[in-house]
Amino acid sequence: MTVSELSPALASSAMTDPFGRRISYLRVSVTDRCDLRCFYCMSEDMTFLPKADLLTLEELDRLCSAFIAKGVTKLRLTGGEPLVRRNVMGLVRSLSRHLKTGALKELTLTTNGSLLSKYAAELADCGVKRINVSLDTLDPAKFRTITRWGDLNKVLAGIDAAQAAGLAVKINAVALKNMNEDEIPSLIEWAHGRDMALTLIEVMPMGDIGEGRIDQYVPLSMLRTRLAQQFTMTDLPDDTGGPARYVRVAETGGKIGFITPMTHNFCESCNRVRITCTGTIHTCLGHEDASDLRKPLRASESNELLNATIDRAIGLKPKGHDFIIDRRHNRPSVSRHMSVTGG
């Protein structure tokens, strides 16, 4: 048996946290590296992890498979930018075997779109049905400012390739004060015009980026009030296993999601955990909690130690996070960057 295969006998009971929430959604960072430097996410001169510290693709496969055996039905690959990881499509193709068995209901990823033109068709061939693309503006100059050196045309070409391959695309946009907040209505119309949902996200205070978040932060409650002057929005009961609350826009027929970690925490229904590219599990985005899965993963070819460590980590999952952005707390709520945590 290879390290990426699991015996059914090693699978333990489904994961349930201390508050009765069943864990069925796993987000895995395959790399902390990215080919962009979005100013709300990273500092311009990032120090990335040594490659030797990262789990191998085979170890990532085994780790994801262990979680699937324990009840995870949705798996999202993230980064950094997942598509910059060398040979990452080998991991995607290997994990797709769990789609074929029915153990995994969805395999997806979040990407900045810069490399989608190259990989979209192969992603679809591996059974990926939908992806999230992070895109905060349709203005080339603003895009370069936000990403520090990105090329908007590459992202738009990637979205074209993804849709041509049959992938459903959802756009994720971070609302940024005095940067793109006035552009949100046109972004909504563009996305819905291409049959793509749009999710708006509040800036999260994660990692030192060389400046405070208070000058970037736009409360989505305020933004939604502005949008209501232009659009007729009806709340939807949609539940995709993520933190977004969705509305239907009558004028466009499309959907908008609101992810509001600051103005309304979404923890009561949290069914997910995150794993970093070094094998650290974080059961809450807004806490410094961490458990090392790399050590038990490498200690034995059996998953007995690994499963026990996972169970202990799930048993410590907090009820919710405590993100704060204000003038008195103009510092990260947690020290790790989103690129390390896993999207």
Check residue 7 and give its pLDDT.
43
> What rounded mean pLDDT belongs to the chain?
86
pLDDT tens by residue, 151-167: 999 999 999 999 999 99
Q: What percent of the chain has pLDDT over 70?
A: 80
Q: Which of 30-39, 264-273, 280-289, 333-342 has the lowest mean pLDDT?
A: 333-342
Q: Which CATH architecture has domain 8-341?
A: Alpha-Beta Barrel (3.20)
Choose among 138, 142, 132: nearest CA to 111: 132
274 a known binding residue?
yes
65 a known binding residue?
no
Choose among 35, 287, 225, 8: nearest CA to 148: 35
Among the residues of the chain, which ranges form H helices? 57-69, 88-95, 97-101, 116-125, 140-147, 152-164, 184-193, 220-227, 294-299, 304-314, 338-341
64 a known binding residue?
no
Check residue 286 and give its pLDDT.
60
Which of the four pLDDT bands, split at 50, 70 and 90, describes residue 11?
very low
Mean pLDDT of 49-58: 94
31 a known binding residue?
no
Structural tokens at position 104: 């995994």
Domain ranges of the chain: 8-341
Whole-number Å distance between alpha carbons of 163 and 120: 8
126 a known binding residue?
no
Choose among 128, 130, 150: nearest CA to 141: 150
84 a known binding residue?
no
- Judged by DSSP in three states, 327 sits in helix
270 a known binding residue?
yes
Mean pLDDT of 39-64: 91
Q: What percent of the chain has pLDDT over 90?
A: 67
41 a known binding residue?
yes
Mean pLDDT of 287-297: 88
Choose among 178, 159, 190: nearest CA to 256: 190
Burial of 258 (0-12, 13-18, 19+ CB in 10 A): buried
- Judged by DSSP in three states, 167 sits in coil
80 a known binding residue?
yes
Residue 134 contacts residue 112 (beta carbons within 8 Å): yes
Region of residue 342 (phi > 0: left; psi between -120 and 50: alpha; otherwise: beta): left
76 a known binding residue?
yes
1 a known binding residue?
no
